[in-house]
Amino acid sequence: MCDKLRIIKRQNETLRKLNKIAAISNTSPIETLREALVIGKKHFGLEFGIVSHIVGQDYTVDVQSTPPNTLYDEQLFALGSTYCKTTLEIDDILAIQDVTTSKYVGHPCHRDFDLVSYIGAPIRVNAKVYGTINFSSPEARQLEYDSTDDEFMRLLAKWAGSFLERQITLDELSLTKKRFEMIFENNASGMMLVDEDCQIVMVNKRFSEIIGFSKDELIGQSSRNIHLNNPSKKSLTDNFSKIKTDSHQKIEYQLKRKDNKPIWCEFIGSSIEFTKNSTGVVWSILDITTQKEMQEKLELQATTDFLTELYNRRYFSSRLEDELSRVKRNINSSTSLMMFDLDRFKLINDSLGHLSGDIVLKEFANLLKHNSRKTDILGRIGGEEFSIILSYTKLEDALVLANKIKEEIANKEIDIDGNKFHITVSVGLTSFRNDDKNYDRDCK
Q: CATH topology of 2-172 equal to that of 175-291?
A: yes
Nearest CA to 95 out of 59, 54, 148 is that of 148
Which sequence spans correspond to the domains of the chain? 2-172, 175-291, 304-442
pLDDT of residue 245: 65
Per-residue pLDDT of the chain (444 residues; tens, 9 = 90+): 456 666 667 777 777 777 777 666 567 777 888 998 999 999 899 999 999 999 999 999 999 999 999 999 999 999 999 999 999 999 999 999 999 999 999 999 999 999 999 999 999 998 899 999 999 999 999 889 988 899 889 988 988 888 788 777 767 666 555 677 777 888 888 999 988 888 899 999 999 999 999 999 999 998 888 887 766 556 666 666 677 666 667 888 888 899 989 999 888 888 887 777 778 888 888 999 888 888 888 888 888 898 998 999 999 999 998 888 888 887 777 889 999 999 988 888 888 888 888 999 999 999 999 999 988 999 999 999 999 999 888 899 999 999 999 999 999 888 888 888 889 999 999 988 666 555 454 443
3-state secondary structure at position 131 = strand
CATH of domain 304-442: 3.30.70.270
CB-based contact 75:89 (threshold 8 Å): no
- CA-to-CA distance for 308 and 379, rounded, in angstroms? 9
Helix, strand counts (H, E) of the chain? 15, 17
3-state secondary structure at position 384 = coil
pLDDT of residue 253: 81
Nearest CA to 320 out of 330, 308, 331, 311 is that of 311
Taking domain 2-172, whether its CATH number is 3.30.450.40 is answered by yes
- CA-to-CA distance for 33 and 344, rounded, in angstroms? 51
Q: Could you count the other beta carbons within 10 Å of the beta carbon of residue 278?
A: 10
Q: Tell me the CA end-to-end span of the chain in Å, nearest whole number.
A: 28
User: DSSP H helical segments within 246-312, as ranges?
Assistant: 289-303
Q: Which CATH architecture has domain 175-291?
A: 2-Layer Sandwich (3.30)
